[in-house]
Structure 1
Amino acid sequence: MLYPSGRAWLLGSWAAEEMATVSAGERLLAVVGTSSTTAADLMTRLKSVGMVADLEAALHGVQGSFHVAASLNGRGYVRGSASGARRLYRAAVAGVTVCADRASTLAWLTGNEPDIAQLSARLAAPHLPHPLADAAMWTGVETVPPGEALNLEPDGACRTAAWWQPPPAELPLAEGALRLREVLRDAVALRVRPGQVLGADLSGGMDSTSLCFLAAEAGASLVTSTLHWKAPGNQDHHYAAYAAKHLPRVEALVFPSAELPACFTGLDERRDPGQEPAATLRDLARRQHTAREMRARGAVLRLSGYGGDHTVVPPSAYVHALLRRSPRTALRHAAGFKARSRWPLGATARMLLGAAPYPSWLTTAGARLRKPVVDATEPQTWGARPVLPVWASEQAADQLAALLLSAAGQTRPLAADFGQHAWIHQMREAGRIAGLLHDAETSMDLPVDSPFCDDSVMNACLAVRPEEAGGPRSYKPLLAAAMDGLVPPYLLARTTKDHCGPDWYHGLKAHRRQLADWADTSHLVAAGIADENELRRVLLNPGLQSGGGAPELENTLGTEAWLRDLAAHPVPAHLTARHPQEEDPVDTAAL
C-alpha cells in the first residue's frame, strides 16, 4: 500500500481475508489480521476520522486479533493488540522510524545483534515480570508495549500513548458470563468459513472443549486432536471422548503419547528462530505430527484453547482489593485459598494488608535472583518472583538485576491494584505465547489461532468482579457459566487437570546424547551467561537438580535452541519465503 506520494507505506504478504485497507485523499487506514471488519465497513468508519485521536472510537466494536495502521494527513498511527497476541516493534533504520510486527525483521534491517542482557533474563523462572517479559531480543529494537500505540509525526518524531485501559470490574457473574459467551462465540465464528474443515485441540479441559462446541455451533466440520498421556490417573482422554460423542460433524483423532515422538524430539534440527526464545520445545515434534494428521484430513486452521487458564481465572491476589470493598467476603475467600493452597498464616496476612509499591517489588526481585522461593505455597502480590537457576552465570545475574533496577525507575504497574495487575500480566503472557505458537505452526502449513487471546475476550473477563470470576471453592466459574446450555454439564463440572511429567522425563532421557552435545557446545556458555559445569550437570541429570523443576530447564533449553537457530538461519524465513502469487521472494512479511 502506498502513500499519496507513491512511496511505500505498508509492505507485507497476507492472505486476502487478513487485510482490510481503505484510503480517502491523505487518509489511509488498514486492519491486518483476523477481524470482523471489511473494506466497505472500514471506509464507513474512516469517514468519522478527522485526526488520530478519533481512530479508536471509529474502530470500536471490531472483533478479532489484529494490527491497526493509519496515516492521516501526514501523521502515522500503528498499534498491535492489548493482549499482546499481535506484537509491534520499532527501530531506527537509516534515521527513519520503522515499525514491524516481527522484531527479527528490524534486526535484519539494522544489522543489530542479540541483546545479551535480554538473553540472561530469559533464563529466569517461572517467567519475567512486566515490562521485561515484552522486551525485544535485539539491541536497537524496541517493543511497543501492548495496549499502547506508536504515533509518528510529520517531522519524524515519535511517541507512544495508551489506547487501551482495563474496563471497570463491576459486572456480576450472570451478566459477565453472558457477555463472555457472546464475545467467545463471535471470536470463534470469525475463524469458521463455510465448507472448510477446522482442526481443533480437544484436550478434555474446559477451555478447548468450549471452543469445539462453539465452532460446531458456527457450522464447522472439526478434526480434533486429543493426546492420551501415559501418566497414571490422567483423565483428559476420557473427557475428550465424552465431548466428541456430543459434537456434530467431528472426526476425533486420539494420539497415545507412546506412539508420538518423544518429548524434545528434534533438538538437532535447526529451524527459523522466530522472535524470541520459547519454552515450547518439549512438544514441538508432537504438535508437528498432529498438525500433519489434521492437515491430511483437510484442516486449514487449528483452534487452540491456549490462554483460557490465564484469561478466565483471576489470580488469587484479588482478595486484597476485595478486603476494602467487602471484608467478610474477602476473609472467606482468603480462608478458602489458605486451606486449598496451604498459604502460611503470616504471608496471608501480609498479602491482605498490602504490598510494597511495584518499583520496590522490582528492586527487591533484582536483589534476590539467586534466592530460591523457599515456600512455593506463599500467596503472590504483583506476581511470581523471577529466580535464576544455579547454572546461570554471575554475569547473567548482574545483567538481569540491572534490567529490573532500570525498570523499577521508570515503570508503572499495569493497574494500581496488584491483583488486577497480575491478571492483566498473565493475560499478556498468554497472548505472547499464542503469538509465538501462531508463527511456529504457520510454518507447518496449519496456522493456529487462540481465540481466548482476542482483546474482546480479555475485556469481557476483566469486566467481571474477580471474586465471582474466580474463587477457592469452584473451578473456572466464569467460563462454566458462560458455556452453560452449550457444553454438556458433565464437562463443565470437571475440576481436575492432567500433567505429562512421565513423558517429560522420558523425553529428556531419550535425548541424552543431544543434550550432552549441547552441554559441550553451548551457545549460552559461549555468551558468558551460563556456567559450563553446572549446565552440563543439569542437562545430563535433570532429575537431580535441587529445588528445580521444569520451568527453569525449559527456559534454558528454549534460549539455547534459539541461539543455535539464529546462528543457522541469520536471515528470517519470512524474508525469503515466496508468496503464492509472486515469482520473486517478497521483501518483507511485516508491517
Structure 2
Amino acid sequence: MFWYGGFRGPAQARREPRHSSRMWLDVTDCWLVGSRQEQEIRTARTAIWSVAIVGSCGASGAEVAHLATQGVRDEVARRWPGAYAVVETTDEATTVWTDLGGVWPIYTLADNGVYWASSSRALAALTAQELDTYQLAVELLAPAVARMSHDRSMFAGVSLVPPGHRVVLSNTGHVDVQQVWRPQSRSGDLTFRLRAELSVAAAVRVEGAKNPTVDLSGGLDSTSLALLAAERLCPDRTITGVTVHATEATTEGDLGYAREAGAHPGITHRFMPISATGYEPYRALDTVPVTDEPAPSTIAYKHFAAQLDWMRDQFGTDCHMTGDGGDSLLCTEPIMLADLVASRRLRRAWTESVAWARLRRSAVWPLLADSVRTARSDRPAALRSLARAWRTGRPGRNTSAVNWVPAALQPGWSTAEARELAASLVTGIAAHSAPLPRTGFTSLVAAEAMSAVGRTARADVQIAEHHGVPLHNPFLDSRVVDAYLSIPLDARPGPAEYKPVLRRAMDDLFSPALARRTTKGSFTSDFYQGMRTNLDALRDLADGHLAVLGLVDPARLRHELSSAAAGVPGAFESVDPVISAEAWLRALHSAEPVEWSTTPRAGEGAS
C-alpha cells in the first residue's frame, strides 16, 4: 500500500514507519511508504521551502519548482487539472493542502507531537487500531449522516482534514485546520467549462500512461471519459474501453450503448464476459483486502477483482478510469427544493416539485409541505431530532427526501448501544458544525456528498492497488468539482432531470441514443440472487466483530438477512452497511498492522 506522511514535534518522541523513504533526502520528518507511480509524487526543494505534489496533477516540472521558490498559495488544489494534495515544509511547520474531492485524504494523530498521513490505518497502528465506535455506529445506521462528521475517521484519535482545507502542523505539535475553498457561484458558459475540465482530467491520466483503460459500461459518465480520452489520443494512440457483461448477455440494455461508444475512433473496445456463478455479489467476502475504511466495492469484490486481474493480465493496465463520483456530482439532491423555497423562487419550486413527484409517483402537496418545513428549519435542529428518534425509538416527523437528514432508521439488528452511540455523535455534530447559509446551500450540501464519495472511493483505489491496477476517478478531480458546483441555483438542473449539463457538454460526441438516455442500468436482481446464493456465509458474519462491539444483535441480523434474501422491502438496504463493515473489520484484524519503529533514527536532531 502506498501512503505518505510525517511528524512534527520533539525528535526524541518521533517514530517512523518501517521500510519508508524520505520525501526529500535531507528532510527527516516526511516519509513515503510503498510502491508508487512516478507521476504520483513530484518534489522540489530550496533553502526555505520543500514542496511535494502527490497524485495526478497537470503541473509542469517548472511549475512545481516555482512553488519551492515562492511558497504555496491556498488556491493550489484547483490550480492545475487532476486530483492531488500538496505538501510544503519549512523549518517551522509542515502544511498540507487537501484536494476538493477527497481523493487524497489527510489524517492527523496527536502523540507527543503530531503525526500526519494519507492513510488512517497507518496512523491507527500507533494506537493499536482502536476503532471509533461512534463513527462506526452512524455509518451503520445512517451513512448519509456520517459525511457530516467532517473531521473523523474510522479510528479513535485519528482525525480527518476535510477536503478543500489547509492544515498547518507546527514544531510544538499544534494543529491548525482552515477551510480554503467552498463552492462559489459563477456565470458564463458552464457547459463549456465542464467539458473543458473533464477533457483535461482525462488527458492528465492517459498522456502519462502506456496502456490506459477505461470502464465502458454504457452509462453517461464512463462513456464521457472514454470519448474524451479517445479524442485526446487519436490518431496516434487508442484507449482500451472495457465492458464487463454477463456471459449470456450480448446486446440488450447497457451493452447496446457501450457498443455504439466503442466504435468511436481512438477506442479499442474489449468485452469481458463473466459468469454469474462464482462472481455474484456477496461471495468470498473473507478475501477482501484491507483498506482504510469499508470500500464501496466490498459487496461486489469478487466481480471487481476479476475485472482488475483481467485488465492487468490482458492489457498491462497502468491507468484505469471509472465514472465513479459522476452520479453524486451531476444529479441534484432533492434538498434543492427547500433551497428554492428559502430563496423565494416559488414558481420554480412548484415546477421542480411537480416534476420530482411525477418521477417518484407520489403526491406533490406533501412534498411541497416538506420543502417549506425544511426551508424554515436548520440542520442542527434536524440532527437533534434524529438523535431523539434513535433514543426514543420513534421515527422523526419529516421522512421525505426533502430533509436535512434522512429518517431515523431503526433496523431490527440495531442495538440500544448502537443507537445511543449514533445519537451522541450527531448531537455533537449539531452543537459544533458551522451553520449553513439560509439560502444557496444546495452546492454546499453537494460538496459534502462529493467529499464523502471521494474518501470512500480511496478504499477502492487501495483495493485496485492490491491487484496491481492504478485506479482513477476523474469526476472527483478538484477542478471538475469546482466547475460543476459553481453553477448558480437559477441555472442548476432540478432533481428530476438526469445529468442534462453533461449531456449538453458531450453533445457532439454522444450518439443520439446515448444523448437521449435519462436512466442508468440496474443490477438489483444480481444482488438479490447473490444474497440468496451466499446466505449461509452471510449469516456467519452475524457473530463477528460488530456483535462483539455491541453494535448488532446477531439473532436479529440473521433474521434480517433472511428477509432481505426473500425480497422483503427495506431489509435489503438495512443490511448492506453491516455486511460491508463486518467484512472490513475481518480484513483489518487479519492483516498485519502497519509497522512503526519504536525509537527515532540514531544521530538525528530536532526537526
Alignment TM-score, normalising by the size of structure 1:
0.88
Paired amino acid for 2:544? S
Give the Cα–Cα distance (whole angstroms) in 2 for the partners of residues 459 and 557 of structure 1: 34
Unaligned runs of 5+ in 2: 1-21, 597-607
Question: Could you say what secondary structure the match of 1:32 adopts?
Answer: strand
Partner of 2:477: 454
Q: What is aligned with 1:586?
A: none
More divergent stretch after superposition (189-198 vs 544-553): 544-553
Cα distance change, pair 447–5 in 1 and its aligned pair in 2 (3 A) = closer
Check if 1:135 corresponds to 2:149.
no
Q: Displacement, 1:540?
A: 3.6
| Residue 465 of structure 1: aligned partner | 488
Q: Name the CA distance, whole Å, in 1 between partners of 2:549 and 2:481.
A: 38
Q: Which residue of 2 aligns with 1:266?
A: 284
Distance in 2, matches of 1:358 and 1:472, equals 20
Are the counterparts in 2 of residues 189 and 215 from structure 1 also a CA contact under 8 Å?
Answer: yes
Shift of 1:419: 2.4
SS in 1 for 2:145: coil
Range with bigger deviation, 508-517 or 441-450 = 508-517
**Change in CA separation of 1:58 and 1:438 when aligned onto 2, cut-off 3 Å:** closer
Which runs of structure 2 are paired with 1:117-516 in the superposition (5 Å)? 117-125=134-142, 127-132=144-149, 135-168=152-185, 170-171=186-187, 175-193=189-207, 196-219=210-233, 221-228=238-245, 235-256=253-274, 258=276, 261-269=279-287, 271-298=288-315, 299-323=317-341, 324=343, 326-341=345-360, 342-352=362-372, 354-369=375-390, 370-371=393-394, 378-385=400-407, 387-413=409-435, 416-417=438-439, 418-471=441-494, 474-516=497-539
Please report how far the alpha carbon of residue 318 of structure 1 lies from its aligned counterpart in structure 2 after TM superposition.
Answer: 2.0
C-alpha spacing 1:321/1:2, structure 2 compared with 1 (3 Å): closer
Post-superposition shift, 1:55? Answer: 2.0
Aligned to 2:85: 67
The answer to whether the Cα contact below 8 Å between 1:468 and 1:477 also exists between their aligned partners in 2 is no
Cα contact 2:121–2:291 (8 A) shared by 1: yes
Does 2:574 align with 1:552? yes
Distance 1:504 1:89 in 2: 34
**What secondary structure does 1:409 align onto?**
helix
**What secondary structure sits across from 1:368 in the alignment?**
helix
What percent identity do the matched residue pairs reach?
A: 26
Deviations 1:489-521 (A, max 9, x none): 3212111222112211111121123123223x3
Worse-matched range after superposition: 228-237 or 473-482: 228-237
Q: C-alpha distance in 1, partners of 2:27/2:473?
A: 37
**Residues in 2 aligned to 1:293 and 1:393: alpha-carbon distance in whole angstroms:** 42
Residue 546 of structure 1, CA deviation:
5.5
SS at match of 1:379: coil
Residue identity opposite 2:205 in structure 1 = R
Match of 1:478, SS? helix
Please identify, of 366-375 and 185-194, the stretch whose mean Cα deviation from structure 2 is larger: 366-375
Code of the residue aligned with 1:191 in structure 2: it is R
Q: Counterpart of 1:214 in structure 2: which amino acid?
A: L
| Offset of residue 76 of structure 1 | 1.9
Question: Residue 234 of structure 1 contacts residue 498 of structure 1 at CA under 8 Å; is this kept in 2?
Answer: no
Structure 1 position 314, deviation (Å): 2.0
Give, in angstroms, the shift of residue 527 of structure 1: 1.3
Aligned residue for 1:78, secondary structure, equals: strand
**SS class of match (1:127):** helix
Q: Which residue pairs with 1:86 in the alignment?
A: 104
Task: Name the residue aligned to 1:47.
Answer: 69
Quick check: 1:125–1:552 contact (8 Å CA) kept in 2? no
Residue 49 (structure 2) pairs with residue 18 (structure 1): no
**Bigger mean CA deviation after superposition, 524-533 or 34-43:** 34-43
Contact 2:145 2:405 (C-alpha < 8 Å) held by counterparts: no
- Residues 1:114 and 2:131 are matched in the alignment: yes
Deviates more, 1:378-387 or 1:471-480: 378-387
Contact preservation (8 Å) 1:32, 1:68:
yes
AA aligned opposite 1:131: M
User: What is the deviation of 1:435?
Assistant: 1.3
Most deviating of 536-545 and 556-565 = 536-545
Contact residue 370 and residue 398 of structure 2 kept, 8 A: no
Match of residue 586, structure 2, among 547, 557, 564? 564
Aligned length: 563
Task: Kindly state the Cα deviation for residue 466 of structure 1 after the two structures are TM-superposed.
Answer: 4.0
Distance of 2:370 and 2:250 partners within structure 1: 38
**Contact 1:166/1:459 (8 A) holds in 2:** yes
Q: Which runs of 5+ in 1 are unaligned?
A: 577-591
1:31–1:69: 8 Å Cα contact kept in structure 2? Answer: yes
Shift of 1:131: 2.5
Deviations 1:268-307 (A, max 9, x none): 33x4421112343221111111112212222222110011
8 Å CA contact retained: 1:228, 1:255? yes
Residues 154 and 375 (structure 1), Cα distance of their counterparts in 2 relative to 1, 3 Å cut:
closer
Contact (CA 8 Å) 1:318, 1:467: kept in 2 or not?
Answer: no
Query: Relative to structure 2, which stretch is displaced further, 252-261 or 147-156?
Result: 252-261
Contact 1:415-1:421 at 8 Å conserved across structures: no
Distance across 2 between alignment mates of 1:406 and 1:59: 30
Counterpart in the other structure of 1:9: 30
Distance change in 2, residues 1:47/1:126 (3 Å):
closer
Deviates more, 1:356-365 or 1:540-549: 540-549
Matched, 1:535 2:554: no
Q: Does the 8 A contact of 1:20 with 1:38 survive in 2?
A: no
Q: Aligned in 2, Cα 1:528/1:319: closer, same or farther, shift over 3 Å?
A: closer
Q: C-alpha separation between the residues in 2 aligned to 1:460 and 1:256?
A: 37
SS at match of 1:530: coil
Question: Structure 1 278/9 Cα, relative in aligned 2: closer, same or farther at 3 Å?
Answer: closer
